[in-house]
Amino acid sequence: MSSPVESFRPRALPGSSPTRIRSWDDALKHAAKALEIHAPPDRHDERWLYTRAQDFLPPLTDSGEIAASPESELGTELTPPTSSEEVLLLEDGKLGDPEARRRDGLRHGVTLRTMREAWSEDPALMKRIALRSPIRDRYFVWWNTAHLDDGYVVVVSRERPHHRPLQILWRSPNALAVRRLLLILEPGARLDLVECEAARPNQLRHLVRDIHLEREATLHHALLDVPGVNENWLWTTGVVADEKAAYHALGVHAGARKARHEICVDLIGARAHATLDAAVLLPSKHVFDLQTEIVHRADATESRQLVHAATSARATAVYGGTIVVESATKGVVAHQQSRGLLLDPASDIDSRPELHIRSDDVLCTHGASIGAIDPEGLFYLQSRGLNASQARALLLRAFALRVLETFPAAASAALRTTLAERLEVLVRLLVPEAGL
């Protein structure tokens, strides 16, 4: 059985090195060749015990082609989660007038291009980014590249104002939605980013994010999925942090019929920092599989992970978290904690924190706990006049908001309000009879 680290770090393809990629067409050819050589991951890999790769592959025709996916109306349309005017509505490989985008970028400190435009205009940058990506050699990243109409490249400059978040809303009327985002924060840049989707029932969605933080850049990243939609979705996120860069992510997840998020963070610069937090509140029959890896490759790097998961009847939450400390690093600090709350005996939570430490000068901790709602807490609240449903909702809200309390205070008030409102929506979804 392959180790978790090996599963995150597939060996390079023979005769198909990424160093040979010089254009967007080369990237497409490389991905197509990789798919010919490699099979999808299977359950011999521990990280795929609860979700199958086949759950995230579209149906094929008898000739091996992807079955046609007719367009239809969106089942759930999300409005912008904050009052900010800076919203990027991204559809599958479509952008408006390039000149207008460049003018807007100069004004707001954000440049937006398609992947094809970026490879044509600045191939040296794109090649350097591709070689640094910690997720470049994964099956579903190759699959995503090979099936893209086009992707998006967002570059944030140091001049961008800090006072309100940028919002990215993804949407597609197609049954198969394949998306790609390359986000680059230039030295000293800061961004508060809210990312969410407009989805429809029975949609299959693939999203790959490549995030590159240059020296002293900071990203506060809110990741929101769509509650109550019967669909399958797969997110793959790779993050590279240079010296003194910081990545803070907080995901608020309701899961789906089958949902999976893989996050891999490379801390390659001294004193780089990463925080990966998640509040997972799953309605009945939903599945959410979160797999994380943080690799400490430089001195004085620091990371923290906190995952709170609550599951309703026949729901399944999975968390596999890996911390890797490379040899010859000094002063590394890494903490990892997961807590599970079973709201129904017929639900399931699986938590597997792991440490792979190859250095002596480290401070690393990890822990996991799973249990039901405290009956004494329920009794106390009911003795104060709440009914049973209201008491359960109050305890669930406190359990979920604990994750938000640890989110960096430097994040904007609008971003924190967005996260709190989404958590409230999910609490009401899990305990609708509470009436709170």
Torsion, CA 138, CA 140, CA 141, CA 146, rounded to 10: 130
Digit-by-digit pLDDT tens for the chain (436 residues) are 344 444 444 444 444 456 678 888 999 999 999 999 999 998 888 889 889 999 999 876 555 556 555 544 444 444 445 545 578 888 766 666 666 666 565 567 888 889 999 999 999 999 999 999 999 999 999 999 999 988 999 999 998 877 678 888 888 888 889 999 999 999 999 999 999 887 778 889 999 999 999 999 999 999 999 887 788 999 999 999 999 999 999 999 999 999 999 999 999 999 999 999 999 999 999 999 999 999 999 999 999 999 999 999 999 999 999 999 999 899 999 999 999 999 999 999 999 988 999 988 999 998 999 999 988 888 888 888 888 888 999 999 999 999 998 888 888 888 888 899 999 999 998 988 765 5
Q: How many CB atoms lie within 10 A of CB 38?
A: 15
Q: Residue 91: its pLDDT value, please?
A: 75
Angle at 221 between CA 100 and CA 258, to 5 degrees: 105
Q: Residue 243: its pLDDT value, please?
A: 97
Angle at 307 between CA 304 and CA 312, to 5 degrees: 180
What is the pTM for the complete model shown? 0.90
Give CA–CA dist 69/205, Å, rounded. 12
CA distance between the termini of the chain: 48
Instruction: Name the nearest CA neighbour of 14 among 40, 41, 39, 33.
Output: 33
Torsion, CA 415, CA 417, CA 418, CA 423, rounded to 10: 130
Backbone dihedral region of 93: left (phi > 0), alpha (psi from -120 to 50 degrees) or beta?
left
- Maximum C-alpha span of the chain: 70
Q: How many CB atoms lie within 10 A of CB 380?
A: 13
311 forms beta bridges with 282, 342
What tokens does 32 get? 């197509």
Phi first, then psi, for residue 191 (nearest 5°) are -145, 135
E-state strands within 115-214 = 152-156, 166-171, 176-185, 190-198, 204-213
What tokens does 390 get? 């209201």
Amino acid letter, 429:
L
Q: Residue 173: its pLDDT value, please?
A: 80
Burial zone of 140 (CB within 10 Å; 0-12 exposed, 13-18 middle, 19+ buried): buried
